[in-house]
């Protein structure tokens, strides 16, 4: 397994955001689905190793999360587009490529991968929201990381673009990468190989989309989510 989380506890303001979370994530595209505020970003941050944790362990590619060897093997996209608004797309990418120590030829490859070839000389701050989030995604693709952790990369994008990005994620997974994508839009469930359904800091289901639907006896993931939550309450 590429990512193993055991007994993970994260507290914020005296409240447990994650309280003893256990899960494993393997190769392929895994979707982390759940409503806003359920702890998705906190879990992703813990996997990347930028979240202060209060118990349990997170192991990525056999190493403790946040260890220095992992820093060049994980691509991370935060929910806000973490790029410099006052620089152009290629200036941003050249900067991050230098920090990562990857070849500057990578810049052209990732620009093409996120389909921003026409905007490469544009200042990021003047791009549309969707273009900015793709610019942020391009940074995460630099150096072909083994693990990609993407916090809501498709939110607010046009359907055609969303389809293309999911195709990109599957292409990366086919090349052997582990891709973990969070979303609060249940419609995106069927685009994933595996699903983690999350609510109130707990994983309520972890399986393939088909298996989850079958177990809940529903036709779509949204209804399965409801069935699982109500089944738990009973």
Which residues are at the interface with another protein (CB under 8 A)? 12, 48-53, 66, 68, 71-72, 74, 76, 78-87, 91, 95-96, 98-101, 123, 139
Q: Which is nearer to another protein, 95 or 218 (CB)?
A: 95
Q: Which of 67, 49, 55, 59 is nearest to 21 (CA)?
A: 55
| Apex 167 CA angle, 132 and 123, nearest 5 | 15
Minimum CB separation from another protein for residue 169, in Å?
Answer: 19
Q: Which is nearer to another protein, 101 or 176 (CB)?
A: 101
Minimum CB separation from another protein for residue 229, in Å?
Answer: 28
Beta-sheet pairing, 178-183 with 28-33: parallel
Q: Which is nearer to another protein, 83 or 206 (CB)?
A: 83
Report how far residue 140's alpha carbon sits from residue 25's, in angstroms, rounded to the nearest whole number: 19
C-alpha distances out from residue 158 to 66, 129, 164, 165, 167, Å: 34, 11, 10, 11, 14
Minimum CB separation from another protein for residue 233, in Å?
Answer: 31
Q: Which is nearer to another protein, 60 or 196 (CB)?
A: 60
Report how far residue 109's alpha carbon sits from residue 191's, in angstroms, rounded to the nearest whole number: 24
Minimum CB separation from another protein for residue 125, in Å?
Answer: 9
């Amino acid at each position: 397994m590429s990512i193993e989380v055991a007994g993970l506890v994260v507290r914020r303001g005296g409240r447990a955001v994650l309280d003893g979370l256990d899960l494993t994530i393997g190769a392929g595209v895994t979707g982390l689905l759940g409503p806003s505020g359920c702890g998705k970003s906190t879990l992703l941050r813990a996997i990347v190793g930028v979240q202060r944790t209060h118990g349990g362990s997170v192991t990525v590619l056999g190493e403790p999360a946040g260890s220095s060897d992992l820093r060049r093997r994980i691509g991370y996209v935060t929910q806000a587009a973490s790029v410099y608004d006052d620089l152009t797309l290629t200036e941003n990418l050249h900067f991050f490529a230098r920090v990562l120590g990857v070849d500057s030829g990578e810049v052209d490859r990732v620009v093409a991968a996120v389909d921003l070839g026409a905007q490469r000389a544009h200042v990021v701050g003047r791009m549309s929201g969707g273009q900015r989030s793709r610019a942020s995604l391009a940074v995460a693709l630099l150096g072909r990381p083994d693990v990609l952790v993407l916090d809501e990369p498709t939110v607010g994008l046009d359907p055609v673009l969303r389809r293309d990005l999911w195709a990109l994620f599957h292409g990366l997974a086919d090349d052997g990468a582990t891709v973990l994508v969070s979303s609060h839009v249940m419609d995106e469930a069927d685009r994933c190989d595996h699903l983690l359904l999350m609510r109130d800091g707990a994983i309520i289901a972890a399986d393939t989309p088909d298996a989850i639907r079958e177990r809940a006896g529903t036709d779509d993931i949204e209804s399965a989510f409801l069935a699982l939550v109500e089944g738990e309450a009973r």
